[in-house]
Structure 1
Amino acid sequence: MPDILPYILVALAIAGLLAVVLEEVIHVNKAQVVLFLGALSWVLLFAFSADGHVHEKVQEGLQENIGEIASLWLFLLAAMTFVAYLNKKGLIESLIYRFLPSSISERKLLLLTGLFSFAFSSLADNITATLISIALILSLNLPASKTLRFATVVVFAVNSGGVAMITGDVTTLMIFLAGKVSITNLLWLSFPALVAVVLLVSMLSWPLREQAVIEHKESELAQVDLAIAGVFVLTILATIAGNVLFDIPPVLSFLTGLSVMFLLARAYGEDTENHPILNYIRQIEFDTLLFFLGILLLVGSLKEIHALDSFVSLYSHLPAWAANYLMGLLSSVIDNVPLTAALLKADVSMTLQEWMALTYAVGVGGSLLIIGSAAGIVAMSKVNELTFGSYMKYFVALIIAYSVGYASVLGLGQIII
């Protein structure tokens, strides 16, 4: 493998990041750019790995990368199809009108949104929680400037809620499976994470002075719609239980739930020749899936050249608590899964308190940039006004909330450990 190849691959990754940041300037869809650069990175890896042993390692790396991408794609496809159906049928909107009063202050509404997103993401995965929470916001038809504030809170709250449950965040599960923390330790993270969410809501709600008028709409819900909503809830619960008890991959549980949804629609007569149930799959934002594909291909290529291993050297120059904090900042730019994997493989020596701090940092740090987490990318695909630039307006508030939450984890560690 030529010595210059790693530099080329890093340059391609940087170009992909710039394409996302400057999408509004270059007027080229970010999914198209990162998909091209991600695929090109692997083409170059294969083209310049003539040695048999190196070529075999690249082949294994691609198979592993494609397997991870396939799991994510299929999971997203199942979750998005459920949400597309329920949103189209007005079920989500109906639930909002049933529980919200006719008039509520915008500040209180923002707090309720943050608490709902936080609680829901601790039970479901981040992507599903984001899809549901954003659908709730959009159904309220708030002005664009206020929708941005609500969407920002959703992204941060969803990522915060997931850190305390092994089913809520992949990196949390990785650290748990490595034996660095226990489920009881993780549950303690809910308190500092919730403090950070409430702090962010307080900062972003300051300019909100008006009352939000909720126009209640009466809508008839068909029995089949309620049944499919029940299947969706049961699928989420089964995903959690199946993963904890039998180590069943979440994607398998959701595909099972999706198949039950299709069969149920056929049994109720909802799946007809003129309105086939499979049409809801076509309503999924495939540009979001292509964006995920490109990003994960880019990150996978960096993993092959061990470009991410250099981040581990931070722990030889800084105290673990400071290095963990920086890892959270890095996770807003680089996928937190390979970062966490690199740390675990390097077997960095840390105390329980420091492992808990890392769990919080890599789970919540991705919220600092809109492209730093799956929740942010999904929210960006749903809210037209939510872009890299518009999200950056709240960067100061986000990093303050993240820092306070991180400090709270360190303080909590002193008490419980």
Structure 2
Amino acid sequence: MTVLILFLAATAMLAIALEEVIHLNKAKSTLLLGCVSWMCLFIHANNTGDLIAINHALNENLLDIATLWLFLMSTMTFVAYLNARGLISGLVLRVLPNSTSLRSLTIFITVFSLVLSMLCDNITATLVSIAVVQSFKLTTREKVRLCVLSVYAVNSGGVILITGDVTTLMIFSNGHVSISELLTLIVPSLCGVFALMVMFLLHPNKAVEADTKIQPIRKLDIAIAVLFFGTITATMGLSLFYSVPPVLTFLTGLSMLFMLGGVANHFDSEIHLMEYIRKIQFDTLLFFLGILLIVGALKEVGILTWLTKIYLSMNPNISSALMGGLSSLLDNVPLTAALLKAEPILTTKQWLSLVYAVGVGGSILVIGSAAGIVAMSKVKEITFFSYLRYAPHLILAYLVGYGVTLL
């Protein structure tokens, strides 16, 4: 069964990589193979008498997926409205001139993505950052390069605060690091992002223009933008002080959005905020569903436990660096959960290195982080191989940042 699940997982990854060759949407292939993996587990459990255990495992996995789905739906609805109204691009164009240089845009995207991911979750930061990139007229290669930079900056900023990355929150919740200690990760994060930005700034410079015109901002647009960022702030505060799940806070914000739309519709019959749910690209949600089903199946056959044993058999400084690389293939949440369950004895510095590794290492491949998956689903120019061409740059930047954590 372990070999079969590994084969199905490898097939799913291959289908993602060869999407442009086989002309099969990655969301469909991943979802199919994820479902087949669990069907195989149930058939095997029926033969061995472990049906209760496998059913419990599936329910847990589906609960995690449902939580992510609802969170994504809430976030993407807000961003869909702000994008449709041109508010995000409009604000950017008010900061940047209508025509700027590619290097200036690169620096802006780097700083914007890094800072935003420190203030809100990685998915929201990625959606907003990608919207900014798409606001400019860029070639395919330039757009992919800026999106890659944005994904790496978002993941780098996310490890600094517990509100930015789930794995950071998990390690913090287990009492291995404090908030003040996590804040020291801003140094390696800045070093890694700066290294990648410098590599991208070496490309030829040119003038780039905005792809959209500045639209007039209505009072309703401002109200929804305030509600959006208020929801982000409330998510951080309620999660930190009262342990309220982020998905619950964002669903509350979404319900307030719909209530606001209902009031606005009373005065303007053309305003129907509920319709913006239709603008969400559900391929993104289906892709997440398939990926998490596959990772859950790998967890059930003991692959993550096997990786944990490898971690404990080596020097933690080397093991953490390798785990960062593995997190580009496997979801870092179950990987971190498996490591925490093993209860390795690490110093504070080594825990911080692990936080950085599993949070930033997923950036090396596009399928290794939620930010990468969102970017690939939202930007048609980003494929597995178009992202892969920048793997050497990302590995170097990752090693620079990881090396600083050891200092």
Whether these two folds match at TM > 0.5 is: yes
1:82 maps onto 2:78 in alignment? yes
Output aligned runs, 1:58-73, within 5 Å: 58-73=54-69
Match of 1:406 in 2: 402
How does 1:119-198 map onto structure 2 within 5 Å?
A: 119-198=115-194
Partner of 1:41: 37
Match of 1:19 in 2: 15
Q: Bigger shift: 361-370 or 104-113?
A: 104-113
CA-based RMSD: 1.6
C-alpha distance in structure 1 between counterparts of 2:164 and 2:323, whole Å: 19
Q: Which residue number in structure 2 is paired with residue 336 of structure 1?
A: 332
Query: Which segments of 5 or more consecutive residues in structure 2 lack a partner in the other structure?
Result: none
In the alignment of these two chains, the number of paired residues is: 407
Among 87, 92, 98, the alignment partner of 1:96 is 92
TM-score with structure 1 length normalisation? 0.94
Aligned to 2:230: 234
1:264 correspondence with 2:260 = yes
Higher mean displacement: 268-277 or 331-340 = 268-277
Deviation (angstroms), 1:273: 6.5
- Cα 1:271–1:328 change in 2 (3 A) is farther
Q: For residues 135-177 of structure 1, what are the alpha-carbon distances to aligned partners after superposition, in whole Å with 9 as ceiling and x for unaligned?
A: 0110112222211111110010000000011110010011111
Q: How far does residue 98 in structure 1 lie from its aligned partner after superposition?
A: 1.0
In the alignment, is residue 384 of structure 1 matched against residue 380 of structure 2?
yes
Deviations 1:98-139 (A, max 9, x none): 111344332122011111100101111100000000001101
Q: Which amino acid aligns with 2:396?
A: I
Structure 1 residue 113 and structure 2 residue 109: aligned?
yes
1:285 maps to a residue whose letter is Q
Q: Equivalences for 1:1-12 in 2 at 5 Å?
A: 5-12=1-8
Higher mean displacement: 400-409 or 9-18: 9-18
Q: C-alpha displacement at 1:348, in angstroms?
A: 1.3
My pick for the range that moved more, 205-214 or 182-191, is 205-214
Q: Determine helix, strand or coil for the equivalent of 2:289.
A: helix
The Cα shift of 1:269 comes to 2.2
TM-score, normalised on structure 2? 0.97
CA contact 2:171–2:177 (8 Å) conserved in 1 = yes
Q: 1:272 to 1:71 in 2, by over 3 A?
A: farther
Deviation (angstroms), 1:211: 2.9
Q: Distance in 2 between matches of 1:298 and 1:177?
A: 26
Counterparts of 1:255 and 1:99 in 2: how far apart (Å)?
Answer: 31
Cα offset, 1:299, TM superposition: 0.8
- 1:317-359 CA-to-partner distances (Å, cap 9, x unmatched) read 3211001000000000011111111110011121111110010
Where do 5+ consecutive residues of structure 1 fail to align?
Answer: 412-417
What percentage of aligned pairs have identical amino acids? Answer: 49
- Which residue, out of 346, 357, 364, partners 1:361? 357
Structure 2 equivalent of residue 284 of structure 1: 280
Contact preservation (8 Å) 2:152, 2:363: yes
Q: 1:68 to 1:215 in 2, by over 3 A?
A: closer
Are 1:395 and 2:391 an aligned pair?
yes
**1:202 equivalent in structure 2:** 198
CA distance in 2, matches of 1:332, 1:272: 47
**AA partner of residue 332 (structure 1):** S
Is the 2:89–2:214 Cα contact (8 Å) retained in structure 1? no
The corresponding residue for 1:247 is 243
- What does the per-residue CA deviation read over 1:165-219, in whole Å, with 9 as the maximum and x for residues that have no partner? 1110010011111111111111110111011111101101111322334588442
Q: Counterpart in 2 of 1:305? A: 301
Deviation at 1:304, TM superposition (A): 1.3
Letter in 2 for 1:354: Q
Closer, same or farther: CA 211–315 of 1 in aligned 2, 3 Å: same
